[in-house]
């Protein structure tokens, strides 16, 4: 990407989009195009067409999506399917129509079959049934991957797809009901510390294993791949390392400085036993994460304190 290129970051206020925006700024790009959802409704075909006709970006990072935790995914099934399909259909098609040089579509690890072997390899896509609770979101994301490949095959578009693992970092969502496990635990431990509670109760047994990547590392990987990767099919972005929810809780307890006990409610569901990405394809290209989990948790906790 040339430093003078016009780069559109769709979803620049979210955790992922804002990290990509910061990365581009730090690398000296001068023409980063953004629009808030109030300024541009990406679900609106005509509005997106007018935006692309006016701005004519050279490169596009498609990080905009309707996202949420397990409850939101399962409750608003139609909204998650329709809105995500509309967003990516409009942005990918207009990128083709206006001659965008390269587009990156960001998916999610939930695209993989529920019972796929671990670690999750890229070629496990569409080899089995999806997790029922977030199936509509996953189907939308799979359609986005296939759309990028179809536009590449039919029109020669350089559209690539990346699948990040579980993310955390600056501008994360700490909503009591709708956030993911890591930010939810940061909030819970912080509130317990401030109220002098003697214990924090966590759902499940603490044995499921999860992988976490700091969002600024994801942005670094996206920038790297935008410069070097020009292939069909998807590529995983993660650390290739995971830990139990119990060990994550102990680490967050240490970072927050909560002195009480941790209790696990084994009557509550655990979710998938393990969700680890195979990142050998990415490592072979020469990229590896820089921010280890404890360092990242300290950065995320400071961001939480600053904003809440």
User: Is 137 an active-site residue?
Assistant: yes
Catalytic residue among 8, 59, 96, 137: 137
End-to-end CA distance of the chain: 37
Category of 220 on φ-ψ map: left (φ > 0), alpha (ψ -120 to 50) or beta: alpha
Count Cβ atoms within 10 A of the Cβ of residue 36 and give its class: 0-12 exposed, 13-18 middle, 19 or more buried. exposed
Backbone angles phi, psi at 243, to 5 degrees: -150, 165
CA distances 109 to 68, 120, 218, Å, are: 14, 9, 13
Count Cβ atoms within 10 A of the Cβ of residue 3 and give its class: 0-12 exposed, 13-18 middle, 19 or more buried. exposed
The torsion angle over the Cα atoms of residues 73, 76, 79 and 82, rounded to 10 degrees, is: 60
Query: What are all long-range contacts of 35-43, with beta carbons under 8 Å and residues at least 24 apart?
Result: 37/64, 42/10, 42/86, 42/87, 42/90, 42/91, 43/83, 43/86, 43/87, 43/90
β pairing state of 212-214 and 166-168? parallel
Q: Residue 103 has which token pair?
A: 């587009």
Q: Residue 101 has which token pair?
A: 């040089």
Which residue blocks in the chain are alpha helix, DSSP H?
Answer: 15-26, 45-55, 70-75, 77-97, 135-155, 181-194, 215-228, 245-256, 280-285, 293-307
Binding residues for NADP(+): 11-17, 106-109, 141, 164-167, 180
Question: Which positions are catalytic?
Answer: 137
């Amino acid at each position: 990407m040339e430093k003078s290129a016009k780069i559109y970051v769709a979803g620049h206020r979210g955790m992922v989009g804002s990290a990509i925006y910061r990365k581009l700024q730090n690398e000296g790009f001068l023409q980063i195009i953004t629009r808030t959802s109030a300024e541009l409704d990406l679900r609106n075909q005509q509005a997106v067409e007018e935006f692309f006709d006016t701005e004519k970006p050279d490169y596009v990072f498609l990080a905009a999506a309707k996202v949420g935790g397990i409850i939101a995914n399962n409750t608003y099934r139609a909204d998650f399917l329709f809105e995500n399909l509309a967003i990516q259909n409009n942005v990918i098609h207009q990128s083709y129509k206006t001659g965008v040089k390269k587009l990156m579509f960001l998916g999610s690890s939930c695209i993989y079959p529920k019972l796929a072997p671990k670690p999750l390899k890229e070629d496990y896509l569409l080899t089995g049934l999806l997790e029922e609770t977030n199936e509509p979101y996953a189907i939308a994301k799979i359609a986005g991957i296939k759309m990028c490949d179809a536009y590449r095959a039919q029109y020669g578009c350089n559209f690539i797809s990346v699948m990040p693992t579980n993310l955390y970092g600056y501008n994360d969502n700490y909503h009591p009901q709708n956030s993911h496990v890591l930010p939810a635990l940061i909030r819970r431990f912080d509130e317990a510390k401030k109220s002098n509670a003697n214990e924090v109760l966590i759902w499940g047994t603490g044995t499921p294993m999860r992988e976490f990547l700091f969002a600024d590392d994801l942005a670094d990987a996206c920038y790297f791949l935008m410069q070097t990767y020009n292939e069909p099919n998807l590529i995983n972005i993660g650390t290739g390392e995971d830990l139990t929810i119990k060990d994550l809780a102990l680490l967050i307890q240490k970072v927050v400085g909560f002195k009480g006990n941790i209790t696990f409610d084994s009557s509550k569901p655990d979710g998938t036993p393990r969700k680890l990405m195979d990142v050998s394809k990415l490592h072979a290209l020469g990229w590896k994460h820089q921010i280890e989990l404890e360092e990242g948790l300290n950065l995320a906790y400071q961001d939480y304190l600053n904003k809440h």
